[in-house]
Amino acid sequence: MSFFYLGSLMLLGAFGGFAAGLLGIGGGMILVPFMIMLFPLVGLPQDLMVHTAIATSMSTILFTSISSMRAHHRKGAIRWDIVAMLVPGIIVGGLLSGGAVFSFIDPAWLALVFSGFVAYSGARMMWGKPPAAERSMPGKVGTSAMGVVIGFVSGLVGAGGGFLSVPFMVRGNVPIHNAVASSAALGFFIALANSVGYVVSGQSIDTGVPGMFGYIHVPTLLGIVVVSMLMAPVGAKCAHSLPVATLKRVFAFLLFALALYMLFRAVNAFGA
């Protein structure tokens, strides 16, 4: 691993960890496009870059989410009652996604799915109407069912689920700071279920690249998490000091930028 590659990973870790704490998105979604840019430096085959970036970014959330979750928990901001209702469905959805569906999807379609869901989430956060005052979170069954959706979709795009769980909770009149904090806690369970799936579904893949564990590139994972775990508490601290409107705008603009990049990747892949 070159010094440039290692330095780039550490910068990504700092950026992703800070965003994980600030926005409750696990940081993985931010990392995917940048990993794809860097993977040619380690000789990863073009047709596996999207899958490996998504799987590796998700695995970083296992570590970053713990650091972010502890910081939010100390603030008393996590709605553990909501987390408890979402987790069973998240585990089911994550195992289905990472272990069954993920390996069969063409990279171009995977990039397109990533772009579409991220853009939708950004639009909902930026322009969605405020929830009605009487609206609340659905019951246990409805919330658990949403957990399946969050776990499944997150596994396809390598994210901690905040792009779905934060708007879902905000729509249920959960204050955004609590939604971000609770999403940080959910990220660990999403990452755990999907990472197990990525390892199992990728065991038969022979990339010829050292350090692969299923679809996960372990050296990239380690280079990122060393720094991301240090920066997640910093982002969490900022999340509790920024005004709600600013936090929503930051969240939405970041999602739009990532969606555009992955749409560009998808269009190029379809045209190849």
Parse the chain into domains and list their residue ranges: 3-266
pLDDT for residue 269:
75
Give phi and psi for 136, each to the nearest 5. Answer: -140, 175
C-alpha pair distances (Å), 236 with each of 118, 121, 129, 154, 182: 22, 21, 26, 21, 12
Predicted TM-score of the model (pTM) = 0.77
Is residue 106 over pLDDT 60?
yes
Q: Are 205 and 42 in contact (CB under 8 A)?
A: no
Give residues with Cβ within 8 angstroms of 97, minimum separation 6: 151, 152, 153, 154, 155, 156, 194, 197
**Burial call 70-79: b when 16+ CB within 10 Å, e when fewer:** ebbeeeebbb
Q: 131-170, pLDDT tens digit by residue? A: 554 566 778 888 999 999 999 888 887 777 777 788 788 8
Q: How far apart are the C-alpha atoms of 195 and 189, rounded to whole Å?
A: 10
Q: 199-249, pLDDT tens digit by residue? A: 988 888 877 788 899 999 999 999 998 888 888 778 777 776 777 667 777
Most confident of 23-37, 79-93, 147-161: 79-93
Is residue 98 over pLDDT 80?
yes
What mean pLDDT, rounded, does the chain reach?
A: 82
Instruction: Give the model's confidence band at 32: pLDDT under 50 very low, under 70 low, under 90 confident, else very high.
Output: confident
